[in-house]
A and B are shown apart, each in its own frame.
Chain A
Amino acid sequence: MGPHHPSTHGVFRMDVVLEGETVVKLKPVFGYLHRNHEKIAEGTSYLGSMPYTDRLDYFCSLTNNWAYALAVEKLAGLQVPERAEYLRVITAELTRLQNHTCLIGFLVQDMGALGTPLMYAFREREKILDLFEELTGARMMCNYMRFGGCRCDAPSGWLERVKRVVAEYPRFLDEYEKLFTENEILMARTQGVGVLPGALAVNAGITGPMLRASGVNYDLRKVDRYGIYGRFSFRVPLGAHGDVYDRYMVRLLEMRESVKILEQALRDIPAGPVMDSKAKLRGFRPKPGEAYGRIEAPKGELGFYLISDGGPNPYRYRVRPPSFINLTVLEDMCVGQKVADVVIILGSVDIVLGEVDR
């Protein structure tokens, strides 16, 4: 199947062996979008790679920025001012909202509900992208975070507008749920399809909503408490069956938790600088050593592994892409299912080829 993704997320191919309509064997084929991001980053300064991280998972540039900034901050021992931490949480949770919204739109599109649900999702996404544009100057390629803070402070009135969008969001989620959650077709197509047992998910390094849909309680926002996530009260939704329906449901519930985090962050955000005064952007040379930093990106654990040899470029720069590793179990989930289900199962993994192929 392929090399076109059914929802045109990018270019992806699966070699499938069938017996009638049933899948016997499935091998994913990668690399159509490979541009060796890691090699390019090794030839660029630390700061020079920041805009390139936007292009990994181009749906969630802000969480990519954060993961990279976090790894460099670990490597160089930098501090982040309070206000910047709040801005990071706000932008990251908005990113999560729009990613999950679109994913559900794409998922039902893969099931044959062409157009309407996806356009509903894109309508909401536009509101969030408008906010990103106002804050960072770009809708998708935000390039917003820096080592030791954020590039610029929020423009006046921006936080008020975020509050308005966040306040409206639960109503949209209710509408979405009314459309899908008890929809007969959706239940028939997704329940018991593409089951992933929890033990296999852990062993195969699956992360993010896919892991939690299989009933494993592992959310880096709770485990690592990176940034200031320790301050917010929110719950981690878990699935019970590990099928496509649970993955859909976990994402919906996660959005409701994201709204809660956003409300708290918007309430508590202090005034102050957004960049650490000691942080150095030009001529930045961290001391020799290495660091691995990771965050809970909307698609799973996004990690950056950096080795410094004291020079202006990283000696080694590695991205741990969640959607690439989440594809490890694609075959296990698809074997025994029908061809039509493969499309849905792939849709529920939530991949973006910019990140899978790098």
Chain B
Amino acid sequence: METLESLVERLAAAVPGAEVKILPNPSPAQQPSLLVDVAHAVAVARFLREDAACRFDYASNVTGVDWLDQVVKEKVRTTRMVEGVERVFEETKEHVEPGYLEVVYHLYSMELGHGPLVLRQRTADRGAGARVASLTPVWRSCEFQEREVFDLFGVYFEGHPDLRRILMWDGFTGHPMRRDYVEPDDYEYEPTPHDQVLEKARRHYPAAGGKPREGQG
């Protein structure tokens, strides 16, 4: 297979306007990935499938990754005048790097027998902007897997033919695979409740002194 650098060059020529970036992977697996912008993802995917040197006809694995907001601490040097003398101060400044959701595609070529090429799309944020382009029109194998990412991560796939929940039931709210998902506290007593369970039950049913009411649980 050609190097990623030359592939990115050819991609830039074939799909005008596409922003493709190589993301390094420090692990010994040596599987770096390509980050594609959402607007051109489908065109890039089509190129990767059709191009004679690539022929990535098989999208093996599709999955989501949740990256939370990160607090980044930086040390900043400032010079200030203190009592007429210039002195250097070191201050720690914090800023929040907004989190995002990522959809990862592992592509292989059955025809030429090479791969994997790791393709990534990133959403703008973890809220209303959690949208990426669906690659199901290019590879059918994404159909159920993108539905799963939608279900468990809450990423909206634009252009997906049948975007419904797949593993959780239809009335379910929330996306359990997100890192900040809080499990509902609605279990019943264990046969032999221990301290942790009793404490949780006390918080859950404060009025009844930690005992679930009849018909609840």
Q: Are A74 and B29 in contact (CB under 8 A)?
A: yes
B-contacting residues, A290-329, CB 8 Å? 290-294, 301, 303, 305, 307-308, 315-316, 318, 320, 324-325, 327-329
User: In the complex, which of the residues A205, A289, A291, A318 contacts B139, with contact meaning CB atoms closer than 8 Å?
Assistant: A205
User: In the complex, which of the residues B31, B139, B168 contacts A292, with contact meaning CB atoms closer than 8 Å?
Assistant: B31
A-contacting residues, B101-130, CB 8 Å? 104, 106, 110, 113, 116, 118
The verdict on A291 contacting B144 (CB below 8 Å), with A202-B110, A203-B139 known, is no
* B residues in contact with A223, CB < 8 Å: 113
Q: Are A288 and B26 in contact (CB under 8 A)?
A: yes
* A residues in contact with B177, CB < 8 Å: 36, 38-39
A74 CA to B110 CA, complexed, in Å: 22
A207 CA to B63 CA, complexed, in Å: 18
* A residues in contact with B166, CB < 8 Å: 30-31
A344 CA to B41 CA, complexed, in Å: 38
Total contacts A-B at CB 8 Å: 108
User: In the complex, which of the residues A31, A202, A293 contacts B57, with contact meaning CB atoms closer than 8 Å?
Assistant: A202
Q: Are B144 and A77 in contact (CB under 8 A)?
A: no
Chain B residue at minimum C-beta to C-beta distance from A289: B27
Chain B residue at minimum C-beta to C-beta distance from A301: B60
The verdict on A294 contacting B31 (CB below 8 Å), with A204-B141, A305-B106, A328-B140 known, is no
Is the contact region of chain B dominated by helix, strand, or loop, or is it mixed? loop
B208 interface contact, C-beta 8 A: no
* A residues in contact with B140, CB < 8 Å: 200, 203-205, 328-329
A216 interface contact, C-beta 8 A: yes
A79 to chain B, nearest CB (A): 11
* B residues in contact with A324, CB < 8 Å: 144
* B residues in contact with A38, CB < 8 Å: 152, 177
A62 interface contact, C-beta 8 A: no
A334 to chain B, nearest CB (A): 16
A284 interface contact, C-beta 8 A: no
The verdict on A291 contacting B29 (CB below 8 Å), with A305-B61, A316-B65 known, is yes
A329 to chain B, nearest CB (A): 8
* B residues in contact with A54, CB < 8 Å: none
A75 interface contact, C-beta 8 A: yes
Question: What does the 1/0 interface line of B12-31 toward A look like (CB < 8 Å)?
Answer: 00000000000001111101
Chain A residue at minimum C-beta to C-beta distance from B165: A31
Question: What does the 1/0 interface line of A207-236 toward B look like (CB < 8 Å)?
Answer: 100000000101000010000000000000
* B residues in contact with A329, CB < 8 Å: 140
Chain A residue at minimum C-beta to C-beta distance from B118: A292
* B residues in contact with A320, CB < 8 Å: 60-61, 63, 106
Q: Are B61 and A292 in contact (CB under 8 A)?
A: yes
Chain B residue at minimum C-beta to C-beta distance from A357: B167
A286 interface contact, C-beta 8 A: yes
A124 to chain B, nearest CB (A): 32
A287 interface contact, C-beta 8 A: yes
User: In the complex, which of the residues B27, B106, B143, B144 contacts A303, with contact meaning CB atoms closer than 8 Å?
Assistant: B106
* B residues in contact with A202, CB < 8 Å: 57-58, 110
The verdict on A216 contacting B141 (CB below 8 Å), with A289-B29, A320-B60 known, is no
Q: Are A327 and B144 in contact (CB under 8 A)?
A: yes
A259 interface contact, C-beta 8 A: no
* B residues in contact with A203, CB < 8 Å: 57-58, 139-141
Q: Are A31 and B169 in contact (CB under 8 A)?
A: yes
Q: Are A290 and B168 in contact (CB under 8 A)?
A: no
A349 to chain B, nearest CB (A): 13
A112 to chain B, nearest CB (A): 30
A223 CA to B194 CA, complexed, in Å: 53
* B residues in contact with A36, CB < 8 Å: 152, 176-177
Most A CB contacts (10 A, CB to CB) among B58, B169, B176 go to B58
Q: Are B61 and A303 in contact (CB under 8 A)?
A: yes
A87 interface contact, C-beta 8 A: no
Given A39-B176, A288-B26, A289-B25: 18 more A-B contacts, CB < 8 Å: A34-B168, A38-B152, A74-B28, A75-B29, A77-B27, A203-B141, A204-B139, A204-B143, A205-B59, A223-B113, A289-B28, A290-B29, A291-B28, A303-B61, A305-B63, A305-B104, A316-B63, A316-B65
A-B contacts, 28 of them at CB < 8 A, read A31-B167, A34-B167, A74-B27, A74-B28, A202-B57, A204-B141, A205-B140, A205-B141, A206-B141, A223-B113, A288-B27, A289-B28, A290-B25, A290-B27, A290-B31, A291-B28, A292-B118, A301-B60, A305-B61, A307-B65, A308-B27, A320-B60, A320-B63, A324-B144, A325-B144, A325-B145, A327-B144, A328-B141
